[in-house]
Amino acid sequence: MKLREYLNTVKYFFEREWDFLLYTRRKLLYFMIFTPLVLCVLIIGVFSNPVIRDIPIALIDEDNSALSRDITGMINASPYVEIKANPASMDEARKLMVSGKIYGTVLIPSDFSKKVLGYKGADVVLYYNNELFIVGSLVNKGVFTAVREYSNIYNKKYLMSHGVPAYDADFQLKPVELGEKILFNPYLNYQYFFVFGLIPAAFQLFVISSLLYGVLFEERSGRFVEVASMVDDAPFSYTLGKLLPYGIIFTFSGMFMLFVLFVYMKVPLHDGFLKIIFATICYVFVSMAAGLFIAVILRPLAFSAAAVYAAPTFAYAGISYPQIAMPKFAYYLSEFFPLTHYHRVLVNEAIRGSAPYNSTYSEITYMLILGTLAFAISIAVIKIYTSNYIRRQV
């Protein structure tokens, strides 16, 4: 088949698929256009408060002294926690925690001031719910920092009252000081942490599901009979022409996703916006390739297989659980999920910027290779399936 004939075949299937979306299955077109809008609105609503502050906790002050009130004030001054309740007992505090009204309880025992004044090692006890790992960690960090600072202030006063100069007292309290330098995301903005994974993960799911419907409807509706001979002669032209309308729509949806991330949500962009755009196009390409592969390989179970494939991508992408800590099988399996590589590009270019190690180009190359292999295998299967289909019809 000559080049002009190939192009005419591609054009025929391209126009045929647009006609299908505009007139036969308009609901699918609406789904592809409006689902990203609804998705972004929902996720933006969930993460409208990007930085977690003032987590509600309770405090039980059994000592009720000037010293206990001092440490209470320091705990309440922490940006991470806010004392919202003063229950009379631990039973009451437990009910508040179980009901979800608070996420931690600080207990100042009745002998607190006595032990502090006698330098006998006073205790402040923190009970916190670590089922919600991030919230629990921040409660622990806020209370621990406040108690440690209170302890240092009191010890410094004691040393100075015994003739130790202020500079020497500081050194005795902190002979080794940790120089903390947060390189990326210094404000602990959880929009950057989760939205970079949640929106692309959901986007990939609706790309795959839309493509599955568009490909499988061809066969199940009987429309495939009228083009079977053309597909058998030019399976590549058929695949290219059929998927081009979806690729155009998904590419615009991907650009809208970037607009939401970097313009509306104001995610910092240090470098490489053009690389992010190209990576997004590659992400659309490899997601469509995954959808086509699942559709032609697992025809009767395609939608179930797509859910099994797309649902765990967020967990395997190293967003909530680092890849380096995964078992070897899970680590290598995660490399077959496009989100793993696309998320690395977003983090590299938007959050890290010009970091010493930047794997953007290798991640883009990997997505292109993975998508090309999936498309090539799918086209070969389409050729085999079509030839067998024609023989059965004869």
Please indicate, yes or no, if residue 256 is contained in any of the structural domains. Answer: yes
Instruction: Answer yes or no: do 60 and 168 share one domain.
Output: yes
pLDDT at 312: 81
Please indicate, yes or no, if residue 181 is contained in any of the structural domains. Answer: no
Distance CA 230, CA 137 (A): 61
- Per-residue pLDDT, averaged over 83-112, amounts to 90
Q: Where are the alpha helices (DSSP H) in 64-195?
A: 66-76, 90-98, 112-117, 133-161, 166-173, 190
Instruction: Answer yes or no: do 158 and 272 share one domain.
Output: no
**Predicted confidence band at 258 (pLDDT cuts at 50, 70, 90)?**
confident
**Predicted confidence band at 287 (pLDDT cuts at 50, 70, 90)?**
very high
Please indicate, yes or no, if residue 98 is contained in any of the structural domains. Answer: yes
Distance CA 272, CA 363 (A): 14
pLDDT in tens, 20-76: 888 888 888 888 888 878 877 787 777 666 677 889 999 999 888 888 888 899 999
DSSP state of 224: G
Please indicate, yes or no, if residue 183 is contained in any of the structural domains. Answer: no
pLDDT at 215: 87
Please indicate, yes or no, if residue 180 is contained in any of the structural domains. Answer: no
- What DSSP string runs through 16-54? HHHHIIIII-HHHHHHHHHHHHHHHHHHHHHTSS-B---
- Per-residue pLDDT, averaged over 2-25, amounts to 85
Instruction: Answer yes or no: do 9 and 129 share one domain.
Output: no
Q: Is 224's pLDDT higher than 90?
A: no
pLDDT at 251: 94
Instruction: Answer yes or no: do 320 and 374 share one domain.
Output: yes
Q: Is 325's pLDDT higher than 90?
A: no
Distance CA 257, CA 317 (A): 19
Instruction: Answer yes or no: do 41 and 63 share one domain.
Output: no
Among 140, 173, 206, the domain-final residue is 173
> What CATH number does the domain containing 89 carry?
3.40.190.10
DSSP state of 122: -
Helix axis angle for 166-173 and 133-161, nearest 10°, is: 140
Residues 6+ apart with CB under 8 A from 118: none
- Mean pLDDT computed over every residue of the chain: 83
pTM: 0.78
Distance CA 369, CA 289 (A): 11
CB atoms within 10 A of CB 217: 15
- Tell me the percentage of the chain whose pLDDT exceeds 90: 23
Which residue range forms the structural domain that includes residue 228? 3-48+189-393
Instruction: Answer yes or no: do 11 and 80 share one domain.
Output: no
Q: Is 152's pLDDT higher than 90?
A: no
pLDDT at 60: 92
Q: Averaging pLDDT over each range in 31-40, 157-166, 230-239, which range is the top one? A: 230-239
Q: Is 186's pLDDT higher than 70?
A: no
Instruction: Answer yes or no: do 224 and 81 share one domain.
Output: no
Bridge partners of residue 127, in order along the sequence: 105
Instruction: Answer yes or no: do 301 and 349 share one domain.
Output: yes
Cα-based distances in Å from 114 to 66, 72, 111 = 11, 16, 5
Among 173, 204, 222, the domain-final residue is 173
Number of compact structural domains in the chain: 2
Instruction: Answer yes or no: do 282 and 324 share one domain.
Output: yes
Instruction: Answer yes or no: do 256 and 205 share one domain.
Output: yes
**Predicted confidence band at 366 (pLDDT cuts at 50, 70, 90)?**
very high
Please indicate, yes or no, if residue 370 is contained in any of the structural domains. Answer: yes
Q: Is 176's pLDDT higher than 70?
A: no
**Predicted confidence band at 304 (pLDDT cuts at 50, 70, 90)?**
confident
Among 142, 173, 204, the domain-final residue is 173
pLDDT at 282: 95
Please indicate, yes or no, if residue 179 is contained in any of the structural domains. Answer: no
Distance CA 356, CA 277 (A): 22
